Amino acid sequence: MPPKKKNQQPVKVSSAVVHPTPIELPSSEPILTKEQVAERLLSRVANFRWLVLRWCCKVAKDVLGVATMKEFVCPKCNSLVDQPKKRWWSGWRYCPNGHVLYVRGLGPSLEQSFWKSFLKGLAPAICVFLLIVFALAAAPDVPPRLRGSMAPSTGFVVAIFYLLTGLSLLRKAHLWAGRSGPVQRLVTHARGRAYGFLAAVACQLGIIIALLFAK
Ligand SMILES: [Zn+2]
């Protein structure tokens, strides 16, 4: 008799505990229809895919970053920066002393060959110039009296802008060439870009003169 009583007691307790759960479970399960379950699963899969994609992007960026990692030169400190920090809001790199590693008219302060830099200066400058000039020449709402002179005069302003940028880069290159140290590595880059701009200015002046004569 005593063992039966002992057996009965745990059964009662366990039944008291087990009972609420079978009631709760059926009540919570019918809320989700098959479609809702499928929807949840799909959203989870989508989340997972998104995470994987983001992770892949990050890895690819890191790998490519390592593969194409070059040494930045800080022109202000006159030193090499092998692991520049990045500002999270602008994406600009900066040296340990807080100087931004970009040069106006030049881009990232990296070493670059003369001709690569030259083409990078020449091609965009001519493209920008042609876009502006032809947009103005084809603009329908320009008064007829100004139509002939509007495009060449604006083109002239653009050409002067590139001329000044090129000259300031030449001056920078000249200053850097006079300093000893890692900043010398930027001289070729700056000279190439400066001569690219100046060559673009020559082309732009040619186009302006052609436009003036075509009038
Ligand atoms: Zn610096």
Q: What is the pLDDT of residues 177-215, one digit of tens each?
A: 999 999 999 999 999 999 999 999 999 999 999 988 876
Q: What is the pLDDT of residues 50-65, one digit of tens each?
A: 888 887 667 766 655 5
> What is the 120 CA–ligand 1 centroid distance (Å)?
25
> What is the 78 CA–ligand 1 centroid distance (Å)?
7
| Interatomic CA distance for residues 101 and 189, integer angstroms | 14
pTM over the 0.85 mark = no
> What is the 76 CA–ligand 1 centroid distance (Å)?
5
